[in-house]
Amino acid sequence: MFGYVVANMDKLSVAEKQKYRSCYCSLCKALGTHHGTISRITLTYDMTFLALFLSALYKPDHTIEMERCMIHPIKPHPYWQNGITDYAADMNVALAYYNFLDDWTDERKMLSWWESKLFEQEVKLITAKYPHQCSVIRKCLNELSTIEKSGELNPDIPANCFGKLLGEIFIWREDDCAENLRAFGRALGKFIYIMDACLDLKADIQNERYNPLVGSSSENFRDILNLLMADCTEKYQQLPIEQDRQLIENILYSGVWTRYEAANQKTKEKSKQ
């Protein structure tokens, strides 16, 4: 369900591409530093966006450094570290752990059980630091699993559940921005859940898997997704964000649609054959 909150690289300037990549590298660095090299396998663009978004809002002090790594061994690349990249790394690991655990519980995937064991001790430490966020992640994923097993066909119910989860992850600290951040995260989470259901609909029907949209009368969900993203961007505009604004808006207005557009293009090409 993750991997939707990405930039549209084709529409970024050279400087914006560099900033986006450096944010990704910053989160990767934070994961390796605080949770070990193996934790880098959990790295997501969604939590990269979290680090970028919260850094733009709070503007914490940081210094930009350069390094080579296993992925980029020849050319040094920039990264930075601050409290927000550390927080995003913690949330990245917590989400991955509970997702692995959910896959093991629901589908008895041995690989997921093994992967969850890799991060069990790390998540105990993260839970001690962020008990509220980790509690919400665990409870919402359990609730979501129950909803999906029941075959619930009102898509608002599971979407709201996932929205609640993401809304709490956006709360780095309880302050004057927390209410608007929570509302923004919830709206973004609802959009992600419905987008994921839209793109998986045909495959889920063929494989007899749960999808809350199977009872819908139309497979053209663009209008619904537009309404959900309009709500999300309205909540975004209520936050005092100026730093990296063009990059953030590239993601919210264009990047989140890249997988949807790619799927539509693939469908059109197949219909021509």
Confidence of residue 273 (pLDDT cuts 50, 70, 90): low
End-to-end CA distance of the chain: 30
Query: What is the pTM for the complete model shown?
Result: 0.92
In a domain, residue 156? The reply is yes
In a domain, residue 125? The reply is no
Per-residue model confidence (pLDDT) at position 258: 94
In a domain, residue 180? The reply is yes
In a domain, residue 99? The reply is no
- Name the region of 69 (left: φ>0; alpha: ψ -120 to 50; beta: rest): beta
Mean pLDDT of the chain: 90
Which residues, in sequence order, are CB contacts of 146 under 8 Å at separation 6+?
none
Q: How far is it, in rounded angstroms, from Cα 177 to Cα 171?
A: 9
Q: How far is it, in rounded angstroms, from Cα 201 to Cα 193?
A: 12
Confidence of residue 108 (pLDDT cuts 50, 70, 90): low
Q: How far is it, in rounded angstroms, from Cα 239 to Cα 114?
A: 40
Domain limits at 163?
130-238
In a domain, residue 192? The reply is yes
Q: What is the mean pLDDT of residues 239-267?
A: 93
Q: What is the mean pLDDT of residues 47-65?
A: 93
In a domain, residue 39? The reply is no
Q: How many domains does the chain have?
A: 1
In a domain, residue 217? The reply is yes
Q: What is the pLDDT of residues 136-158, one digit of tens each?
A: 999 999 999 999 999 999 999 99
In a domain, residue 260? The reply is no
